[in-house]
Structure 1
Amino acid sequence: MAAYREKINELQELLKEDNINFKLFRKQCFRGVPDDSGLRPLCWKLLLNYLPPNRKQWKEVLRSKRDLYKQFIDEMVVAPKDGRTDCPRIDVTMDDHPLSINPDSKWQTFFKDNEVLLQIDKDVRRLCPDISFFQQASDFPCQEIVCGPDSDSIRLHNRVQYTALSAGTVERKGIGMNKVSYTVRKAQEDYAVLSSGQEAHWEVVERILFIYAKLNPGQSYVQGMNEIIGPIYYLFATDADSDWREYAEADTFFCFTGLMSEIRDFFIKTLDESEMGINGLMNRLMRKLKECDPQVWNRLKNQELEPPFYSFRWLTLLLSQEFDLPDILRIWDSLFADENRFEFLIYVCTAMIVLLRENLLSGDFPCNLKLLQNFPSMDVHIVLDCAVQLALSCSLSS
């Protein structure tokens, strides 16, 4: 307990400095930010380069960033009108219309936005299904949206309903058509309806991802990004300090954007074969496994148990699907504090395989595949300690 308190005190003293010693700060965070210290949200903002090491700059940085995000909401969520209702009849041969191929067509923009929004909407509703947090109401809903005169029409999840298709079922008896019945196919809404003036946390995450997609049209939204943003938003939205919690949405957006700038190559298919692409990353993992445990590496190779079968998800989602949320937060302390950004991720994944060596060496292909695709429950500190030991042994051997 004394060592635990000392760890908290050391981190608190570092954060009080006018100009934070970032090298020492990273070292402390790499060992894990104490859960009940209340310091992790602030530490992540620093590690993800949202806040500078100079404390005197924080106030201005936060003001400008949060004002900018509010502007994004006004321009991309509140202000746009889809133009399909409450408008006079026009000559579609002369003006913009749904079949226009003009890239500047507002209808083209609307259809593209809704295609992206449809996927985001599906993904954010199933964020962290083991906890109810994302279905709960936010303490600080976006007032421009929940209290505006057009609240229902500008909520992003309501826009998705417009894309629901009607399907006709033709029933025949003998020769000729007897009956056509029409139904509207929609995803089942298995979440609690909140009262007026409220919005759920998943709606906030949906808005962040939509704005990110709009600002990054070359990459847009890719399935899996919801798993990256989820833990960050959860951490900021549960900050014990309400002054920080009030701006969880804006702070999450910029931290997520900064993180994606470092791992975006994982999500770009055309870069899969590059050294920084996902295939290059999986090759690095296999080289590290061969170096650390050639016997296990040889076993997987002989069984033709290819890395994409299990490690693709590990690497692209930073292990967010392999551990419970509290363990993910602890793992990400070390990943974000890694000086060689995400080099430690390779060691963590290698440690996960090495810790299963007895089962892998005795198991056949189906058993080993199932084991790696469903990593067994394990104390996260055992995994991290093993990863540190592997990193130390590799550095000594080189």
Structure 2
Amino acid sequence: MLKKGRLNLPDMLGSLVSGFDEKEMKNGGLRPVLEPGEELEIMEPNGIELGHKENEYGFDDLVNDTDLDKEGAFRTRKRPDKDGTGRISVMEVIAADEKRSDIEYELSQKEIYLEKVKRIGSMGLPDGGGLRATAWKLLLGYLSPSHDLWEKELTENRQKYVKLKEELLLSPSEYTRVKEDAMISAELSGERDDAGPLKRQGISHGDHPLSIVKASAWHHYFKHIEIAEQIDRDLLRTHPDLKFFSGESSFSKKNREAMRSILLLFAKLNPAIRYVQGMNEVLAPIFYVFSTDTDEKNAVNAEADSFFCFVRLLSDSVDHFCQQLDNSPVGILSTLSRLAELLKENDEELWKHLEFTTKVKPQFYAFRWITLLLTQEFNFQSILRIWDSLFSNPFGIQDMLLRICCAMLLCMKSRLLSGDFAANLRLLQHYPDINIEHLLRVAQDLSADTSSYSLSL
């Protein structure tokens, strides 16, 4: 959605997504488009009693979805890890070994050929060994193709993240204490800079927690408490079937705390967007992949790396979260229209049936598909595989995302053609399990005009 280069990371403070400040100022000053904790909602008509779907679909791989969490549109739905028969042939094992060898070789080169990484990634990156973590960082533009620059790039970004957390996530009193300790330490070592310690918006002795002055550092700190509470609630619901995210173990709590910092920092740096429920689901795969990197140094710094890659990923679709841009060429309604056009181009019969016969519009089901990058439609391992293809697509994430969404409709064609409004809406809002490799092949084979699509980051 956003053109390459639009996203600028700040040295310390400011919006991570450039352009929003200008948009808001034109409307008479900066104000949040979404209230703290406001949820994305599926656009569907009121008063519709959804019917129950049958158990047989166009694919033999589909199973029932009785485990669905119906309390919220964006809550994780438990799904069995069933994307096929579970039988692996000798040829598949050989192909997987060859793929692993290919990506290992490519990532070890002094100058990495990104097109080769994309070709391998489009067929699925190997699990384990940190290969997916490194490949994703390359494909999202977080690491440069020059291997020699990696250490410098990672060190600078990780230090920058620490400073951002210090500036924005510490309370004013904690921040002042840290800076005073740093100043004393610098004086004792004789290394104090003439400029003195960093100052946080000129925190004064008169600035205190009960201050009602809007410019108060404490006022800004308390303003985000409600957002933090919403993030905490959502993180408790993030993939409840995975111990990595869920439970009361110190391990899961540590992971949720890291994700909380990432999401809260993003909200503070982007006052025009803040935090929208569902962003936790978009962050989860990135943080999981980076945290399980077999390189210990990378795993320890997964929080910082995940933050910057999350920003890069979201920049490709951040306009979808901005309500004021809904009707613009970069808004969610425009993207939904592109999905409808893609379906029309590839299967006009199905398009007519959904659009005119049953009147199941894309905004009734694909709103969540697109904004949350399909994280609520498939099990976790399938999401990782799908994202390999999203990040590897030469025409950008949004191009491949729309292709997959269209393929999801085509793979359900027979059922959709025989269903009415209620049955079809329920089917598409609770998409059945499916063979992911087949789905991705269908998506890749679609015909589409990609001339207007933005390139990858």
Match of 1:312 in 2: 367
3-state DSSP of counterpart to 2:154? helix
Among 342, 358, 362, the residue aligned to 1:288: 342
| 1:28, distance to aligned residue in structure 2 (A) | 1.6
Among 267, 286, 289, the residue aligned to 1:213: 267
**Separation in 2, partners of 1:80, 1:224:** 29
The structure in which a higher percent of residues are strand is 1
| 1:19, distance to aligned residue in structure 2 (A) | 1.0
The more displaced of 242-251 and 309-318 is 242-251
Among 384, 398, 403, the residue aligned to 1:329: 384
Q: TM-score, normalised by structure 2?
A: 0.68
- What letter matches 2:384 in structure 1? L
**Separation in 2, partners of 1:199, 1:108:** 28
| 1:82, distance to aligned residue in structure 2 (A) | 8.7
User: How many correspondences in the alignment?
Assistant: 326
Instruction: String of CA shifts for 1:50-82, please: whole Å, max 9, x gaps.
Output: 110000100111111111111222222345339
CA contact (8 A) 2:207 2:218 kept: no
| 1:105, distance to aligned residue in structure 2 (A) | 2.4
| 1:14, distance to aligned residue in structure 2 (A) | 1.2
**Separation in 1, partners of 2:319, 2:112:** 30
3-state DSSP of counterpart to 2:446? helix
CA contact (8 A) 1:11 1:28 kept: yes
1:104 aligns with 2:215: yes
- Structure 1 residues 394, 280: closer, same or farther in 2, change over 3 A? closer
- What letter matches 2:277 in structure 1? Q
Match of 1:224 in 2: 278
CA contact (8 A) 2:283 2:310 kept: yes
**Separation in 1, partners of 2:162, 2:429:** 41
| 1:238, distance to aligned residue in structure 2 (A) | 1.4
| 1:37, distance to aligned residue in structure 2 (A) | 5.1
| 1:199, distance to aligned residue in structure 2 (A) | 4.3
1:66 aligns with 2:158: yes
The more displaced of 313-322 and 202-211 is 202-211
1:39 aligns with 2:131: yes
- 1:232-247 to 2 correspondences below 5 Å: 232-247=286-301
- Structure 1 residues 109, 355: closer, same or farther in 2, change over 3 A? same
| 1:319, distance to aligned residue in structure 2 (A) | 0.3
Among 236, 251, 255, the residue aligned to 1:201: 255
**Separation in 2, partners of 1:121, 1:4:** 39
- What letter matches 2:98 in structure 1? E
- What letter matches 1:268 in structure 2? C
Match of 1:256 in 2: 310
CA contact (8 A) 1:134 1:200 kept: no
3-state DSSP of counterpart to 2:173? coil
- What letter matches 2:313 in structure 1? L
**Separation in 2, partners of 1:106, 1:38:** 41
**Separation in 2, partners of 1:249, 1:99:** 33
Instruction: String of CA shifts for 1:300-341, please: whole Å, max 9, x gaps.
Output: 112111111100000000100000010000000110111211
- Structure 1 residues 394, 215: closer, same or farther in 2, change over 3 A? closer
CA contact (8 A) 1:127 1:202 kept: no
**Separation in 1, partners of 2:107, 2:248:** 40
Flag structure 1 segments of 5+ consecutive residues without an equivalent. 84-93, 136-190
3-state DSSP of counterpart to 1:249? helix
1:369 aligns with 2:445: no
Match of 2:416 in 1: 360
1:17 aligns with 2:109: yes
3-state DSSP of counterpart to 2:316? helix
Among 240, 260, 285, the residue aligned to 1:129: 240
RMSD: 2.2
- What letter matches 2:276 in structure 1? V
| 1:95, distance to aligned residue in structure 2 (A) | 7.0
- What letter matches 1:45 in structure 2? K
Q: TM-score, normalised by structure 1?
A: 0.77
- Structure 1 residues 205, 361: closer, same or farther in 2, change over 3 A? same
